[in-house]
Amino acid sequence: MQVVKNTSPYVRKDVSTKRMMIDVLIALIPVVFFSIYRFGWDALIRIVVSLVVMIGLEAVAFGIMHRAKRVEGRWERLKSRYETYTINNITAPAVSAVIFAMLLPSKLPIYAVIIGAAFAIIVGKMLFGGLGSNIFNVAAVGRIFIGIAVANMFTGTYVGTDLIAGGTALTAVRTGAGFPYVLNSYSLIDLFIGNVPGSMGEISALAILIGMVYLLIRRSADFRVVVSSLATFTILIFLAGLKLYPGQAFDFTLFHLLSGGLLFGVVFMVTDPVTSPITRPGRWLYGLLVGSLVVLIRLFGAYPEGMAFALLFCNMLVPLIDYPQWATNKFKPAFFIGFSVILITFALVVYFGVGGAI
């Protein structure tokens, strides 16, 4: 298939960027509705604020970045700055805004939402050149920024909410009695349905999976990164479970799959066509790296979650994965060898890291 070489996202089918963004917004509907059902006006207000800030600031930055024509009248000169402003400049920040809002606790102060949304759209996107030019996932940039810059807001009223992704059940594993006793408070059914505290859009695996099915059917999300990241995560966390909890390795794996921001991040953030590789082998490798890093952060890192950090780190590796010297759409023996070596390496790190012995 031929790759359209233009500004990202790169597509290999007859589909517009506008349609892809609208599909993502449609896929987010179950998650948004559940968050409003679960958290009420708190969720709705934060979603609206995020939308207004991101769409509004992108429009302002767009006008600043484009030169006005030499025409008479201030209004005419202002309009000339927006001659190339399209619906894509509305749908794209709208997607980022909703995803960003879904990463937040429902009680986060409104001014923190404004700060995070503004930082995400200006620093994470417009400073790189705007639509299709950012190298980092916009929502993840904003979420990590407020998680680090205003960390005190995630304590007190927000105790138990993970600093980066809001994985309350995961936090309980780290700070409470640990697994498997945490299942007494957060059952696997509760985690699947969403009857647990946490970030607004990450708690219901059911709502997220409905959105995933829609995106995959519409081919607005690449199945390669979804399968690769989830399969890698499952294999590595199951390997850790075999050592840590030999009799409950399966429950341990399901608990981690359904907890925190993994599913939401894989479905709505890792699949971002702007910040993911453009080749088929590259996307398999990208998913492998994301899934592996999330496992390493959860097992050995300072935070119980790790989706956002893993995603941004892998965003930095995309230019290397897509480097023209070796980037190709063909699956060559070197790819399978390299993929296997990386997976085995991470598996050995996990196995020995959790106390495995030869």
> Mean pLDDT over residues 175-203, rounded?
80
The answer to whether 276 and 225 are in contact (CB under 8 A) is yes
Query: Do you know the residue count of the chain?
Result: 358
The pLDDT of residue 344 is above 90: yes
Residue 259 in domain? yes
106 Cβ partners below 8 Å, 6+ apart?
35, 38, 39, 42, 43, 46, 200
- Please report which confidence band the pLDDT of residue 66 belongs to, taking 50, 70 and 90 as the band edges: confident
* Number of domains, the chain: 1
Lowest-pLDDT range, 157-171, 257-271, 273-287, 293-307? 157-171
pLDDT digits (tens, 9 = 90+) for 172-188: 666 555 677 777 777 88
Residue 261 lies in a domain: yes
The residue-averaged pLDDT of 148-173 equals: 54
Q: Which domain holds residue 275?
A: 17-353
Quote the percentage of the chain above a pLDDT of 90.
Answer: 48
**5 domain residue, yes or no:** no
Total H helices, total E strands in the chain: 16, 0
24: which residues sit within 8 A by CB, 6+ positions away?
95, 215, 220, 221, 268
Q: Is residue 101 part of a domain?
A: yes
pLDDT average, residue stretch 98-123: 93
Residue 1 lies in a domain: no
Residue 336 lies in a domain: yes
- Tokens matching residue 255: 């608990």
Task: Kindly report, residue by residue over 214-236, the tens digit of the pLDDT.
Answer: 999 999 999 999 999 999 999 99
pLDDT at 330 (0 to 100):
80
| Phi and psi torsions of 124, nearest 5° | -80, -20
What does each C-alpha distance from 151 to 143, 146, 155, 164 come to in angstroms? 11, 7, 7, 9
User: Looking at the domain assignment, is residue 260 inside a domain?
Assistant: yes
281 within domain boundaries: yes
